[in-house]
Amino acid sequence: MRKRKKIRLKKQVKLVLCLIVFIILAIVIGKSIYKDHVYKNSYEYKLEVHGYSADEVKLLIKNLSNKKLDELLESEKNDVLISLLKEKYFLKKNLDRYLDYYDKHKQTELSQIIAIVNVYADYETYEHDIDTDINKDELILCNKYYKLSADYEPDDLVQMNSKYYYGDSQSVRQEVYDAFIDMWNAANEEGIYLIVNSSYRTYADQDEVYNSYKDSYGEKEADAVAARAGYSEHQTGLAIDVFSKDNTSRATFKESLAYSWLEANAYKYGFILRYPEGKENITGYGAESWHYRYVGKDVAEYIYENDITFDEYYAYFIEK
Ligand SMILES: [Zn+2]
């Protein structure tokens, strides 16, 4: 009797154990089937199957909306898009405009497209106005898209000592003046006598400058060499047109020793060459070997070392 009871008990235990094992297995397998189902429906999986590498998939998911990802899955692998996403100064908010610009200018390098779109140069000049943020202090951006109001005037303008300029008297913001004197002294020690011939201009001054060009050469030519009132950096009190005592010619200043010295050293004092050669499509201006802009030492150093314009710097580091 006792023996039979024992056997029955053993059988029951076995049954319960089997049932537990079965339930556990069912849960584990079920979970893995579910996981597999979720994974196969994920963008990670679909994009990888579509030919994108794991790194590319990460980039795409980080920067594209689900709607865009769906569209992407309906067309062939988009290598241009991937290259754009890998560009150093890529901004997510500009993606559609990059692609648009690429469609119309397939020969343009992608880094150029990024720069052009970031600074709004994919719009016509003077047709996409943004009121510039005057609270940015020495980093105020003023160009053919970012404008100043007619009554904007910096509140810390100082008159320059007459030894630093020729022609009409000149003024700049205090911080710019201090930096300029440091730069002037350093250049002077190397036998170079820097001299300013234009600095702060009021809105009315600029209007006069622009209109005199316009009257003589017409609007197109005037726009190539001068800013319209409200769009000139000279109204910020942060820009100077600087030459040397022995060369004040716009035509030949670039060949002077002073120009070479400024090109190599100005950034150490917080100044940048604002309209360099080769960047005309970004800055909107022909090269000006004499126009320097104060942005402070750190920003000037970055711009100098990375060979970008202030417009690009502003778009990527300040505005975004
Ligand atoms: Zn200038």
Mean pLDDT (the chain, rounded): 95
| Ligand 1 center to 24 CA (angstroms) | 78
- pTM for the predicted model, two decimal places: 0.89
- Domain parsing of the chain, residue ranges: 14-74, 130-319
What is the C-alpha separation between 61 and 75, in angstroms, rounded? 16
At residue 256, what are phi and psi to the nearest 5 degrees?
-85, 160
Q: How many CB atoms lie within 10 A of CB 5?
A: 9
Is there a contact between 236 and 142 (Cβ–Cβ < 8 Å)?
yes
288 among known catalytic residues: yes
Q: What is the CA(146)–ligand 1 centre distance, in A? A: 16
- The residue type at 87: E
Distance 198 CA to ligand 1 centre (A): 7
Predicted local confidence at residue 2, as pLDDT: 66
- Active-site residue (options: 56, 175, 288, 312): 288
Å from CA of 234 to ligand 1 middle:
6
**pLDDT in the model for residue 254:** 97
pLDDT tens figures, 270-282: 999 999 999 999 9
Confidence of residue 7 (pLDDT cuts 50, 70, 90): confident
130-319 belongs to CATH 3.30.1300.10: no
Q: How far apart are CA 265 and CA 183, in angstroms?
A: 8
| Residues 294/175, Cβ–Cβ less than 8 Å | yes
- Taking a 5 Å cut-off on Cβ, the residues next to ion ligand 1 are 241, 291
Long-range contacts of 144-148, Cβ-Cβ distance < 8 Å, separation of 24 or more: 144/227, 144/231, 144/284, 145/119, 145/120, 145/121, 146/231, 147/230, 147/231, 148/203, 148/230, 148/231, 148/235, 148/236
Contacts of 90 (CB under 8 A, 6+ apart): 63, 84, 98, 114
Q: How far is the CA of 292 from the centre of ligand 1 (A)?
A: 7
**pLDDT by residue (tens digit) across 97-142?**
999 999 999 999 999 999 999 999 999 999 999 999 999 999 999 9
Token pair of 176 as six digits: 């710019």
pLDDT at 312 over 60: yes
Contacts of 176 (CB under 8 A, 6+ apart): 138, 237, 238, 240, 294
- Confidence band of 12 (pLDDT split at 50, 70, 90): confident
